Structure 1
């Protein structure tokens, strides 16, 4: 497998594409977007402000509906037409879409008051990979877990900021990154269980590059699309470890993409203004807003989480 470091000489990979503000609401730390083509609804969270947002992709004008949460949530996953799974500070919660009620499904590092959930993605088997990290991003305090039904298995520890969790369309390859380290990793995965079937290997070494690799999603052709926090762009990597495209976006801190639209042909991208002072926010007019980016690729709908083993 080939892998390489970031290079300043990659300007030929940069492609401008149509990009728009999907929702003008500014998120302190927007994250965890998902999309349901059955009702054309996009969902995402603001982790630090404890809010969940919903908005039809076809809505013209106005802003998203805001739902107040009693905890910090970092990822939204479908269960069925009436329920979602939220990854949160102390566990995974089932949320009823009808009345907003919440029920704890299973704990996640509930005995550690210093950590919260972060990036997550549902595997084609219906299991979940979800990361945890310290509130203050303490080095090495985070981990990545596999959740099958209510059974939680620790996969990888010693991670500072788990991100980039996504899977190949056939479920045989998993990807993840520790944003603080800057190395995107690839691992063989059992397609039937979502469990690793080998040791992680380096796919792409971004150490020394601008910004940090954040959330990610895989398209129908197997390209890994990542948000590059702090660098105002998205990157696409091949399964062989080559960065093949970079797409500028109008917000400096993109956090996570997911495919959206009836044809899953656009990227819904959350952003953040976490850590930016007033001068930096003024220089970044779209900071914290949620974007739609026409990258010229089609995605695969993220599977629903399977509640029972």
Structure 2
């Protein structure tokens, strides 16, 4: 296990840091403190962080254009004006369920958005994974407890997702043009074989899946067939989600959490909740804008 080239990118300690998204046009990283109802913005050129208060819990962000972003929130998909911060509801999702919130999400190469919902108290089987594309919404996989690891192969022919409660990673064949499943999911990684839970993931340009291990304090690399490649040790135990950053997508940023840690555990895990950068020359790639 390697830990070379890992450092703190931002020392804001989020209760539940999640949903990192990088905008290459602005060279800016965004991520959320879900429980703190905050969107955090970090232009990499300046290193000056802005924290935007949100009226709802939000967990993920997709680029739309130079003026708008799409936020995945506890009441649905909302457009955010990048200048004013104003939110406008685009598509309600489980808005009548105050016990639910959003979780992991990522944009398929065709522009379709996959995103997950879950119970705020992680009620078993209460959540689901949805597909949204050009105004159409479909529920793909119901009865998910903690949806995570939504990501895609570079050609869009494979989608991955996990239920962290089960600690299992699945892959499913997809229509590259629409981002819709065309077969049943296949169990790809049985997460209980290694310490920690399968949380957020991202796939690089070569098809390697990089997974953050909640409670495992590391990033794991897997082949698309579920073959373990290597691990990178991280400074915090509860890692949540990675994303590629930089002009060539050659670095990786990773969020983390301090949710649920006792005072004694926090003393032993002082970087919990911070956001980290890995300087390891990844062959990364960027997520496309979402197709509204």
Under TM normalisation by the shorter chain, which class is it? Answer: over 0.9
* Distance (whole Å) between structure 2 residues aligned to residue 294 and residue 175 of structure 1: 25
CA distance in 2, matches of 1:78, 1:246: 30
CA contact (8 A) 1:145 1:154 kept: yes
Give unpaired runs (5+ residues) of structure 2.
none
Output the CA distance in 2 between the equivalents of 1:295 and 1:123.
25
Q: Which residue pairs with 1:52 in the alignment?
A: 39
Name the residue aligned to 2:247: 262
* Structure 1 stretches of 4+ moved >6 Å: none
CA-to-aligned-CA distance 1:56-77 (integer Å, 9 cap, x gap)? 12334xx520000000000011
Answer yes or no: is 1:16 the counterpart of 2:3: yes
Of 188, 191, 195, 1:210 maps to: 195
Given that 1:247 and 1:295 are in contact with CA atoms closer than 8 Å, whether structure 2 keeps it comes out as: no
2:139 paired residue number: 154
Q: Distance in 2 between matches of 1:266 and 1:278?
A: 32
Provide the C-alpha distance between the structure 1 equivalents of 2:52 and 2:270, rounded to a whole number of angstroms.
25
Using the alignment, how far apart are the partners of 2:33 and 2:227 within structure 1?
32
Instruction: Give the 3-state SS of the residue equivalent to 2:9 in structure 1.
Output: strand
| Cα distance in 1 between the residues matched to 2:38 and 2:273 | 13
Distance 1:200 1:29 in 2: 28
Task: Judge conservation of contact 1:171–1:190 (CA < 8 Å) in 2.
Answer: yes
C-alpha deviations, 1:201-226, integer Å up to 9, x for none? Answer: 01111125311010000001000001
* Equivalent residue number for residue 228 of structure 1: 213
Computed over aligned residues only, the root mean square deviation of the Cα atoms, in angstroms, reads 1.0
Match of residue 108 from structure 2: 123
Matched, 1:113 2:98: yes
1:181 paired residue number: 166
Query: 2:15 — aligned with what?
Result: 28
SS for the counterpart of 1:80 is coil
Alpha-carbon separation, structure 1, partners of 2:180 and 2:150:
13
Give me the TM-score of the superposition, normalised by structure 1.
0.93
Contact 1:25–1:64, Cα closer than 8 Å, also in 2: no
Q: What do the CA deviations read for 1:62-101 (whole angstroms, capped 9, x no partner)?
A: x520000000000011001111100000100000001111
Q: TM-score, normalised by structure 2?
A: 0.98
CA distance in 2, matches of 1:286, 1:262: 27
1:84 maps to: 69
Aligned to 2:156: 171
Q: Which residue of 2 aligns with 1:250?
A: 235
Question: Structure 1 residues 251, 237: CA separation in 2 closer, same or farther (over 3 Å shift)?
Answer: same
State the Cα distance separating 1:169 from its structure 2 match: 0.5
Corresponding residue of 1:3: none
